[in-house]
């Protein structure tokens, strides 16, 4: 039976991680940990669980070679703690040498959620203030104001048909054209760093529900190439997809032992990586994009305080950066825990932290020290601490975190120009 497409715009969907990996070919990230010179806490703690083609990013970090990092935010409401993880992933990759890019997807918010342009701008400013509070360094932009992005989206649209969008997203004849257009804008967002700077590996940190955008963009990036470079038995074959004849001649001229045939050049005695680099140079010289296929990482969702996905459409499920302390404490104290039915059972059996929205809140953001987090978990599973006390301690951490973070956001907001 054919699987239903993942809906990136759903507020209340649950995702079976293992099934998603199996159905769509996402790989677990744990085997790549030894390839990273520094392992960030979001990988170490199992928050980021999967990837597509992350090995080229790990290599760029190790070898200090160029790479980009991009993600985006749809300004359909105020930012909250559920958005913070992907921001931290972007900031970390910038710290490892990546060129940082963040898009405010106002065209998507307007098309899909009906948010006014004025509200998109206001919410977008809040997201940018969050990034500044985390010391993000890089380029930010609104989709609606980036003309080069719009041109790239138009070019990308020549490689996508509506049948493909239907297969990936479940679109129907009733789907608004603006909704479909917003998808192409996201494809352009992901590829944009490679035209703004240079073609280079690009990492896109996202939640698991955003994988459809990654799959579509990887396909478009491949379709927009002039050449494919294939390693064959004993030689490298550079095959034209839509390259000018002169471009094929230039590839042959770049390698002394190359032989040109109809539609392809075969090269002996060369390394595939060296050939691929030269082919990109030729492609760009002839007006091509020479895109690297983008990579991605996938993090699990921080659950809402009421269970399910943390969503602005369910105010009780989120903790916003703009809420009064009393409301924050009330939400934390009302959060779903992994506690037992009775006090006696809790002491005898212990709690279940992996089912507790508050423990996961600590794991994602509130407790930076692994040893401290381990002690919280130990006390929970041993029945040494009751949920009421744990809630109070967590509420104190959240309030202190928000106070500091909001001060940084307010300071950053003064310098944000839209």
Tens-place pLDDT, residues 97-110: 999 999 999 999 99
DSSP state of 79: -
Would you put residue 248 in left (φ > 0), alpha (ψ -120 to 50) or beta?
A: alpha
The confidence score (pLDDT) of residue 327 equals 95
Q: Is the pLDDT of residue 15 over 60?
A: no
Least confident of 66-80, 87-101, 344-358: 344-358
Dihedral angle over CA of 311, 314, 315, 321, nearest 10: 0
With CA atoms as reference, report the closest residue to 288 among 197, 227, 357: 227
What is the rounded distance in angstroms from the CA atom of residue 156 to the CA atom of residue 217? 9
The confidence score (pLDDT) of residue 304 equals 85
What is the rounded distance in angstroms from the CA atom of residue 62 to the CA atom of residue 146? 33
Strand order across the 27-28 sheet: 27-28, 48-52, 295-299, 202-207, 68-73, 99-104, 139-142
Contact 244, 278 (CB under 8 A): no
Give the strand pairing for 258-261 and 264-267: antiparallel
Burial of 133 (0-12, 13-18, 19+ CB in 10 A): buried
Q: Helix (H, G, I), strand (E, B), or coil: what is residue 221?
A: helix
Angle of helix 387-413 relative to helix 325-333, nearest 10 degrees?
A: 150
Give the strand pairing for 264-267 and 235-240: antiparallel
3-state secondary structure 116-155: CHHHHHHHHHHHHHHHHHCCCCCEEEEHHHCHHHHHHHHH
Confidence of residue 17 (pLDDT cuts 50, 70, 90): low
What is the rounded distance in angstroms from the CA atom of residue 185 to the CA atom of residue 144? 10
Tens-place pLDDT, residues 377-399: 999 999 998 899 999 999 999 99
The confidence score (pLDDT) of residue 18 equals 73
Tens-place pLDDT, residues 62-71: 999 999 999 9
């Amino acid at each position: 039976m054919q699987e239903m497409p993942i809906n990136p715009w759903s507020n209340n969907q649950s995702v079976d991680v293992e099934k998603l990996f199996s159905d769509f070919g996402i790989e677990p990230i744990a085997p790549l940990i030894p390839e990273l010179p520094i392992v960030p806490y979001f990988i170490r703690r199992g928050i980021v669980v999967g990837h597509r083609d992350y090995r080229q990013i790990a290599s760029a970090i190790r070898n200090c070679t160029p790479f980009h990092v991009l993600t985006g935010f749809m300004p359909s409401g105020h930012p909250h703690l559920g958005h913070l993880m992907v921001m931290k992933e972007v900031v970390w990759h910038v710290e490892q040498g990546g060129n940082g890019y963040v898009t405010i997807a106002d065209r998507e918010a307007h098309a899909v959620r009906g948010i006014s342009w004025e509200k998109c701008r206001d919410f977008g400013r809040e997201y940018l203030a969050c990034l500044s509070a985390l010391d993000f360094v890089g380029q930010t932009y609104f989709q609606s104001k980036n003309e080069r992005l719009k041109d790239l989206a138009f070019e990308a649209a020549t490689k996508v048909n509506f049948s493909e969008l239907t297969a990936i997203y479940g679109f129907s004849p009733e789907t608004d054209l603006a909704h479909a257009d917003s998808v192409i804008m996201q494809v352009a967002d992901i590829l944009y760093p490679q035209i703004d700077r240079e073609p280079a590996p690009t990492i896109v940190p996202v939640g698991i529900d955003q994988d459809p955008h990654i799959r579509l963009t990887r396909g478009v990036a491949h379709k927009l190439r002039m050449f494919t470079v294939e390693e064959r038995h004993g030689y490298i074959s550079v095959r034209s997809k839509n390259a000018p004849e002169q471009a094929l001649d230039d590839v042959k001229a770049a390698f002394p032992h190359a032989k040109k045939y109809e539609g392809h050049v075969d090269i002996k005695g060369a390394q595939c990586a060296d050939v691929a680099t030269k082919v990109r140079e030729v492609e760009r010289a002839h007006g091509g994009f020479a895109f690297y296929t983008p990579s991605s990482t996938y993090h699990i969702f921080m659950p809402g305080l009421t269970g399910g996905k943390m969503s602005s459409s369910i105010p009780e499920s989120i903790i916003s950066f703009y809420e009064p302390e009393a409301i924050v404490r009330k939400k934390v104290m009302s959060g779903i825990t992994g506690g037992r039915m009775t006090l006696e059972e809790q002491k005898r059996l212990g709690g279940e932290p992996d089912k507790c929205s508050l423990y996961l809140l600590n794991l994602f953001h509130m407790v930076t020290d692994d040893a401290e987090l381990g002690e919280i978990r130990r006390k929970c599973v041993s029945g040494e601490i009751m949920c009421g006390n744990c809630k109070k301690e967590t509420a104190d951490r959240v309030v202190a975190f928000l106070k500091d973070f909001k001060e940084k956001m307010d300071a950053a907001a003064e310098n944000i120009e839209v």
